Amino acid sequence: MATKIDWNLPEGVEEILPPKAMKVEKLRRKLIDLYVSSGYEFILPPLIEFSETLGGEAHEELSSYAFTFEDELSGKNLSIRPDISEQASRIDAYRIESIKPVRLCYAGDVVKNKISPIHRSRTTIQVGAEIYGDHSMDADLESIQLMIKSLINLGIDTITLSLGHAGLISLVMEELGKNNLSHIQDIEAALSRKSQSDIRALNNKDLTEDQINLLLDLCNLYGKKEIIDSAYKKLKILGKEAKDYLSYLERVVENLDLDERVKIHIDLGEVHGFRYHNGIVFSAFIENAGYCLSKGGRYDGLSKVENLPRSAVGFDLDLLAVVNFANIP
């Protein structure tokens, strides 16, 4: 008698069945149509790349999320992409012959070797849009507003837009780095959880009292836009650069043109996704989800001209995390 095969899937891998599969495809198509009509060009980056070049400047971080295996044809290691935005950056740098601003959008599968805390999966569909070669505030505003419009177009409203600046976190880490710390990830994790008890517990790990207080202040710097005024005082120890970051964030808030249903939330202690962001960072939340539906920020793309960094800003969303809250026919 034939034995029935047990068609189990690996942990964190799922099949998307009807009618959810059709809804996911409608969302993907709706988003790509929005981005193309907004002036973004659609690209299809490859699912696998050489491991040695995966992620460009963010190689070390992205490679820690990637499945890697040996390629019999080349004899080199290949990796399955855990993120598409850095692939888009490579395409901008090496495939598009223009130093003028370039707008790209994408949609595709990503695979990570770690289970997502959002929907307990290692696979999802990432959709996003990026602007390269434009370092202006206008580009930041465009990216933020397009992210919000993406969710509204999917029937998601009453959105909270969270804003921060990755430069502030970098300055804090530089300050703490003077101590030659070996447990920087513990600090980032404590900040991400906004856990004051965990931060105080770091007191016996080579941090001074002033540095502990700085982390505690950063942990509490979230709320309405007025929190920026408090930040000027509490982050004064970080010098003029921190003041400039806060001033920029303040001007972004003043110039945003958003639907009245969108609430603005400032979070200056947010440790945001992959650590390659170095400027303004932003994410979108709704009350019924315990995680952000979309996130983005400013970072350095790959250089097109020697010794000249390529400015970039963009966002992406996890389509399988969004589908449960979308409301389209």
pLDDT tens column, 88-104: 999 999 999 888 999 99
- pTM here is 0.92
pLDDT number for residue 259: 86
Per residue in 3-17, pLDDT tens?
A: 677 889 999 998 999
pLDDT score of 103 = 98
Instruction: Provide the H-helix boundaries in the chain.
Output: 20-37, 59-63, 85-94, 137-153, 166-177, 184-193, 196-201, 209-220, 227-234, 240-255, 319-322
Give pLDDT, residue 2. Answer: 60
Q: What domains are there in the chain, each with its CATH number? A: 12-157+308-329 (3.30.930.10), 160-285 (3.30.930.10)
pLDDT at position 158 over 60: yes
Q: Where are the alpha helices (DSSP H) in 98-208?
A: 137-153, 166-177, 184-193, 196-201
Q: Name the residue with higher pLDDT: 91 or 209.
A: 91
Contacts with 192 (C-beta within 8 Å, 6 or more apart), sequence order:
270, 271
The DSSP call for residue 5 is: P
Tokens of 324: 């449960």
The larger pLDDT score, comparing residue 33 to residue 56, is at 33
Please write the tens of the pLDDT for every residue from 115-154.
877 777 899 999 999 999 999 999 999 999 999 999 999 9
Predicted confidence (pLDDT) per residue in 110-120, tens digit: 999 988 777 77
The predicted model gives 227-255 an average pLDDT of 95
Read off the pLDDT of each residue in 255-269 and give the average, rounded to a whole number. 93
pLDDT given at position 210: 84
Taking the CB of residue 260, how many other CB atoms lie within 10 A of it? 5
